[in-house]
Amino acid sequence: MSDAAAIPLRDRLIVALDVATPEAAAELVAQLGDSVSFYKIGLELAYGGGLSLAERLIDQGKQVFLDLKLHDIPATVEKAAAQVARLGATFLTVHAFPQTMAAARRGVGAAPLLILGVTVMTSYDDADLEAAGYAFGVRDLVARRADQAVAAGIGGLILSAEEVSAMRTRVGSSLRLITPGIRPAGAAVGDQKRVMTPAAALRAGADHLVIGRPITQAADPRAAAEAILSEMAGA
Ligand code: C5P
């Protein structure tokens, strides 16, 4: 874990609200009650009224991770990050290009919003990068962008669980590492290819875990979240 070692256990669990409408998301949030303090809103929900929901969640004392994966010219990214900072979100993703990360960091100013870099999308392999004109394969590009994230002074990186341990060694405690692709033992893997249990991901050095379907599609989402939190407590 990073110097974020003081983060309370409950704030290490981020539930992905991967639903189409703010109403469906609000229902999940109500079911989860005080068991969950941190929610991720991605592109689908953001374009369907999710930004107003984000404001309401923040008013209720929840933390919000806006997974908007910004990438544009620096002036635009800087102003967009400033707007997200004013909204009161806790995390915002940008693609991990040096100009984009530096611009987002400037836009945040002294606000508590942390910018997270998306290094290389996990849907890309070496052949996809080559076809897109990159000289590096996935592994080397992730490492290069992690170093550039440190240089840009952003808050953290989104990484698959299997990259966390090597990346923790590489960046030390300078960045928070946030990991999706988490499955409690026995849970359905779904479309995730490489998964890790909550406890294993924390032990590998993750600071926050992003978990969606194992909680949101459980018969009892609150019980599922509480079970994951107890597993995390034992890590
Ligand atoms: O339902 P599940 O736990 O698989 O949800 C994981 C969340 O993390 C989803 O919102 C998904 O978009 C996101 N994510 C991911 N893998 C990545 C990046 C983001 O699963 N490489």
Question: In this predicted model, what pLDDT tens digit does every residue of 81-137 receive, in sequence order?
Answer: 999 999 999 999 999 999 999 999 999 999 999 999 999 988 899 999 999 999 999
pLDDT band for position 206 (50/70/90)? very high
Q: What is the pLDDT of residue 3?
A: 52
Q: Which CATH number fits domain 4-234: 3.40.50.920, 3.20.20.70, 3.30.1110.20, 3.30.830.10?
A: 3.20.20.70
- The Cα-based distances of 223 to 32, 33, 60, 210, 215 in angstroms read 9, 11, 21, 17, 8
Q: Is 154 left (phi over 0), alpha (psi -120 to 50) or beta?
A: beta
Joined tokens for residue 115 = 């910018």
**Which residues touch 123 (CB under 8 Å, ≥6 apart)?**
none
Give the binding-site residues of ligand 1, using a 6 Å CB cut-off: 16, 18, 42, 122, 158, 160, 180-181, 190, 192, 210-214
Q: For residue range 148-176, what is the model confidence (pLDDT) as tens digits?
A: 999 999 999 999 888 999 999 999 999 99
Q: What is the pLDDT of residue 1?
A: 46
**Among all residues, which ones are annotated catalytic?**
69
Q: What is the DSSP code (8-state) at residue 24?
A: H
User: What's the whole-model pTM score?
Assistant: 0.95
Joined tokens for residue 15 = 């539930």
pLDDT at 10 over 80: yes
CA atoms within 13 A on the CB side of 158: 27
Q: Which atom of ligand 1 is nearest to the CA of 190?
A: 4
End-to-end Cα spacing for the chain: 12
Q: What is the pLDDT of residue 5?
A: 65
